[in-house]
């Protein structure tokens, strides 16, 4: 059966953020808000009913609430009203209205559904009654439980009154309030009451231990705190001393309207709180953050193109494309100061100067520089912050960085953006979508402040070692600038211009005590480092300086000149040896070109025929793509070469690429593998001073590959005189320095047969 009744169709609505009012319970309120007082007066002149609706933890209003009747009303001087409300029945909001400037709603009453089995209902009622007795026994200072339970024979009244006294989360009580079926409602209540009993037992246990261990000074502190609470309840709370100080600071601080409104609202809330309450600390910290952020503070950009170019050249060697892009940005900024700044992403191997280039850009612009490392960040709140209601909440690291900079237009570097993680705490890359979008970041909303902050003036720069792990939508918002690895000449120049001076200064030496010759620096580059950047090179130079510093500190004031001959005295024997070309042509050995993270180098590909039945054996830790290239090369030879001295079908073909501890993969060795197999089958030698790179197809075409600049420089260092390049790669030679380009002969190839004629020495 169901119960229902006539109710007002339209009632005023009060959004109650401190809990949930249940039917049959009483709620005393002290009201100072003018809008709330107006609503109470409106209700008093009408049906004397107010709808009380709870606010969710997310700040949203629930649609089901409790209609409350006004039982008592007292007015005090200073526009203060104390009203006592009693819950009458539940309702659901059908339509939001505003009547006489009072928030109202059209509502419908919700009825409770009872089961047909009366015994089941009585069993549940008795179970709830037993649980309620346990809670009363564990809770001191409540009315006589027998008298109270006697008044709660009605199942519906018993459920609501019992639920109102539980310290359960708001959303759980709201679920209980919205449930119409009384049996399901009792099940929810039983779960909450079990949790409450366990909590009360634990509290009783802890209080018992504390009571036994408490010393006299602890008792005095406890009593003083109790006195503060009693004074607050009697209306004698002291004035918050932070209110006047923060009010004066807000009056002097220039803020956007949205930030000023948020600060004023929180300041108004602070004025009503006791200075020692936790809520006062939260409000104070929130206002202080608003005061400390650089909402309107900006540095003036230095837009002299020549001066910016000088600074970039002073800090960095080469990196022409990066410097040109920075100068383009400055030029556009000078012609159109209100334009949106693009988001730049520097992509390259470690140690090539991505982060230091960001610092140089900030120096060229005359802006502050902030660096945020995103490596290993898993929590979205690291970017957006936590809501201020959480314990220890604070803004995200974007706003923290701006506070540190003290300006709203710094150069903000997001380092290692390719190493962001994601897990159950959220996806930080999703939060960065708004930060790194010039069309959206003018109103970036941090969870802590919950008010828009303009990030459009910030020059965001990101760095990454690879683009594979960056989500597509985030990658689409950035302009990619690739910074390749340095050549041997580049490393020498960087060491000569920057690294030597920096390490000599750091060790306290001077040019009168240690000097580096060109042969010494080049020896360190070739024999002691193998990297795309220069970090290892700088560490090696620093090691030499420190070893000599030990001698100088011991009283040996002699000048040391570092050359190729004495480098091993400081760094030990050579760590790396570079692959060089063969001294003479050899059968079955072709020279390919490889491109690794540390630069280019030659790749010797060896083929040996063994008695067998056409089995292909591959060794040297080859990847799947390289294995497929070998299979494609063998298939092409079987299909197109009928004049072979050794039939591939009658031999097992063993292909090996030395340096077996190093993984190798990629399609660019296809032509070299073909030449190696064909040379072994024909017993004809291959040119030892000629190298080749290119991908092959089964129809004999040679396709373009990547890393041409690095491969050419690696071949030149290995003594190669001629390089066969796919036709479509010839345009990539523009990136190769002119001196190196002129030192090697380049032959364009478009099909395998053409390459074989240049590589294999056919003879008569």
Q: 112 vs 170, 180, 281, 471, CA distance in Å?
A: 21, 5, 43, 51
Token pair 């608003």 in the structure block, residue: 290
Per-residue pLDDT averaged across 620-637, rounded?
Answer: 89
Q: Which residues pair with 560 in a beta bridge?
A: 514
Q: 582 vs 162, 512, 602, 668, 686, CA distance in Å?
A: 92, 44, 11, 21, 10
The counts of H helices and E strands in the chain are: 27, 26
Residue 385 has pLDDT above 60, yes or no: yes
Superfamily of domain 305-482: P-loop containing nucleotide triphosphate hydrolases (3.40.50.300)
Residue 646 is predicted with a pLDDT of 84
Mind listing the pLDDT tens digit for each residue in 46-64? 888 999 999 887 778 899 9
Question: Angle at Cα 358 formed by Cα 353 and Cα 364, nearest 5°?
Answer: 120
DSSP string, 543-565: HHHHHHHHHHHTT----EEE-TT
Mind listing the pLDDT tens digit for each residue in 552-586? 888 888 888 889 888 888 888 887 766 677 888 88
In this structure, the chain runs to a length of: 764
DSSP string, 372-408: EE-TT---THHHH---TTSTT----HHHHHHHHHTSS
CATH 2.30.130.40 in the chain is located at: 10-109
- pLDDT tier for residue 16 given thresholds of 50, 70 and 90: confident
Q: Is domain 10-109 in CATH 2.30.130.40, yes or no? A: yes
CATH 1.10.8.60 in the chain is located at: 488-571
Half-sphere exposure for 410 (CA within 13 Å, toward CB):
23
Residue 595 has pLDDT above 50, yes or no: yes
**Under 8 Å CB-to-CB from 615, ≥6 apart: which residues?**
652, 653
CATH number of 118-213: 1.20.58.1480
Per-residue pLDDT averaged across 384-389, rounded?
Answer: 82
Q: Which residues pair with 346 in a beta bridge?
A: 463, 481
Residue 312 is predicted with a pLDDT of 85
Residue 149 is predicted with a pLDDT of 53
Least-confidence region, from 106-120, 343-357, 590-604: 590-604
Q: Which residues pair with 93 in a beta bridge?
A: 107
CATH 3.40.50.300 in the chain is located at: 305-482
Least-confidence region, from 2-6, 590-594, 601-605: 2-6
Query: In the CATH hierarchy, which top-level class contains the domain 488-571?
Result: mainly alpha
Q: How far is it, in rounded angstroms, from Cα 370 to Cα 80?
A: 50
Q: Give the residue numbers marked as catalytic.
A: 668, 711
Q: Which two tokens stand for residue 356?
A: 């230091």
In CATH terms, 586-759 corresponds, of 3.40.47.10, 3.20.20.10, 3.30.230.10, 3.30.365.10, to 3.30.230.10
Residue 236 is predicted with a pLDDT of 47
Q: How far is it, in rounded angstroms, from Cα 57 to Cα 447?
A: 13
């Amino acid at each position: 059966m169901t119960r229902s009744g006539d109710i007002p169709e339209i009632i005023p609505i009060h959004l109650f953020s401190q809990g949930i009012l249940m039917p049959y319970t009483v709620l005393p309120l002290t009201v100072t808000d003018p809008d709330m007082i107006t609503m109470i007066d409106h209700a008093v002149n009408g049906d004397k009913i107010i709808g009380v609706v709870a606010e969710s933890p997310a700040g949203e209003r629930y649609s089901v609430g409790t209609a409350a009747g006004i039982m008592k009303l007292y007015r005090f001087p200073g526009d203060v009203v104390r009203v006592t409300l009693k819950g009458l029945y539940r309702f659901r909001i059908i339509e939001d209205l505003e009547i006489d400037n009072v928030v109202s709603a059209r509502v419908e009453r919700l009825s409770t559904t009872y089961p047909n089995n009366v015994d089941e209902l009585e069993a549940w009622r008795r179970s709830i009654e037993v649980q309620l007795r346990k809670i009363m026994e564990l809770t001191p200072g409540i009315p006589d439980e027998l008298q109270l339970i006697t008044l709660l024979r009605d199942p519906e009244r018993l459920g609501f009154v019992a639920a109102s006294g539980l310290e359960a989360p708001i959303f759980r009580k709201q679920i209980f309030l919205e449930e119409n079926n009384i049996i399901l409602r009792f099940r929810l209540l039983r779960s909450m009451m079990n949790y409450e009993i366990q909590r009360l037992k634990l509290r009783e246990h802890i209080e018992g231990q504390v009571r036994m261990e408490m010393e006299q000074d602890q008792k005095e502190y406890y009593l003083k705190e109790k006195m503060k609470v009693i004074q607050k309840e009697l209306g004698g709370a002291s004035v918050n001393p932070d209110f006047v100080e923060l009010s004066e600071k807000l009056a002097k601080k220039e803020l956007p309207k949205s930030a000023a409104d948020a600060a004023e609202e929180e300041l108004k809330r602070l004025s009503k709180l006791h200075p020692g309450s936790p809520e006062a600390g939260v409000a104070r910290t929130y206002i202080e953050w608003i005061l400390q952020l650089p909402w309107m503070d900006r540095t003036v950009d230095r837009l002299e193109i020549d001066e910016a170019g000088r600074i970039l050249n002073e800090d960095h060697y080469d990196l022409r494309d990066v410097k040109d892009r920075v100068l383009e940005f400055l030029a556009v900024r000078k012609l159109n100061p209100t334009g949106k700044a693009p988001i730049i992403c520097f992509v390259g191997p470690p140690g090539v100067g991505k982060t230091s280039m960001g610092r140089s850009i900030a120096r060229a612009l005359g802006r502050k520089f902030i660096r945020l490392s995103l490596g290993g960040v898993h929590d979205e709140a690291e970017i957006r912050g936590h809501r201020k209601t959480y314990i220890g909440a604070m803004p995200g690291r974007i706003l923290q960085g701006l506070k540190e900079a003290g300006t709203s237009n710094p150069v903000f570097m997001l380092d290692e953006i390719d190493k962001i993680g994601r897990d159950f705490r959220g996806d930080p890359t999703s939060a960065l979508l708004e930060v790194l979008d010039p069309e959206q970041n003018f109103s970036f909303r941090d969870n802590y402040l919950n008010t828009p902050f303009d990030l459009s003036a910030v020059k965001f720069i990101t760095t990454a070692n690879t683009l594979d792990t960056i989500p597509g939508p985030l990658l689409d918002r950035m302009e990619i600038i690739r910074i390749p690895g340095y050549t041997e000449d580049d490393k020498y120049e960087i060491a000569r211009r920057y690294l030597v001076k920096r390490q000599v200064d750091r060790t306290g030496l001077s040019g009168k005590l240690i000097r580096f010759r060109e042969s010494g620096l080049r020896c360190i580059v070739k024999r002691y480092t193998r990297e795309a950047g220069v970090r290892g090179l700088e560490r090696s130079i620093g090691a030499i300086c420190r070893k000599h510093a030990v001698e100088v500190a011991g009283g040996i004031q002699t000048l040391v000149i570092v050359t190729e001959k004495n480098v091993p005295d400081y760094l030990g024997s050579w760590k790396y040896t570079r692959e060089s070309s063969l001294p003479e042509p050899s059968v079955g050995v072709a020279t390919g070109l490889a491109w690794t993270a540390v630069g280019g180098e030659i790749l010797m590909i060896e083929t040996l025929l063994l008695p067998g039945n056409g089995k292909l054996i591959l060794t040297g830790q080859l990847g799947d793509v390289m294995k497929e290239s070998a299979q494609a090369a063998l298939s092409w030879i079987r299909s197109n070469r009928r004049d072979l001295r050794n039939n591939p079908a009658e031999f097992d073909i063993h292909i090996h690429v030395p340096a077996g501890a190093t993984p190798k993969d990629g399609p660019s060795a296809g032509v070299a593998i073909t030449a190696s197999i064909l040379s072994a089958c024909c017993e004809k030698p291959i040119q030892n001073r000629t190298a080749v790179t290119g991908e092959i197809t089964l129809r004999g075409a040679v396709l373009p590959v990547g890393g041409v600049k690095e491969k050419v420089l690696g071949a030149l260092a290995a003594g190669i005189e001629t390089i066969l390049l796919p036709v479509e790669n010839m345009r990539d030679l523009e990136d190769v320095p002119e001196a190196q380009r002129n030192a090697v002969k380049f032959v364009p190839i478009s099909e395998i047969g053409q390459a074989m004629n240049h590589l294999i020495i056919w003879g008569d």
